């Protein structure tokens, strides 16, 4: 290979309302690629964005959360995990 990455063509169905919103975007492919990458970068590392933990993941979570808790940031007001032992 010459260093170029092979591209694959992926297709998806979209509701009419979503298709209309994409009509005026000059490079739909680039926009969709960037949106997917951004979503993947912010997906939960445990559940992969599904919102559901497997039974084994739940065991690990219970062990982890026994020493950690959610805390709301005073500056940005978002929740984050903190170690109870470092308080």
In this structure, the number of other CB atoms found within 10 A of the CB of residue 38 comes to: 9
Give pLDDT, residue 4: 75
Q: Give the whole-angstrom CA distance, residue 16 versus residue 22.
A: 10
Alpha helices in the chain (DSSP H): 16-22, 28-41, 55-65
pTM: 0.62
Calculate mean pLDDT across residues 80-86: 89
Average pLDDT over residues 4-9: 85
Q: Where are the domains of the chain?
A: 16-86
Percent of the chain with pLDDT over 90: 78
The 10s digit of each residue's pLDDT in 36-62 is 999 999 998 889 889 999 999 999 999
């Amino acid at each position: 290979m010459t260093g170029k990455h092979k591209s694959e063509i992926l297709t998806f169905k979209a509701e009419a309302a979503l298709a209309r919103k994409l009509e005026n975007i000059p490079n739909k492919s680039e926009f969709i690629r960037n949106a997917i990458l951004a979503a993947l970068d912010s997906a939960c590392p445990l559940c992969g964005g599904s919102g559901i933990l497997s039974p084994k993941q739940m065991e690990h979570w219970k062990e982890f959360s026994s020493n950690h808790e959610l805390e709301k940031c005073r500056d940005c007001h978002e929740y984050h995990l903190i170690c109870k032992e470092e308080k």
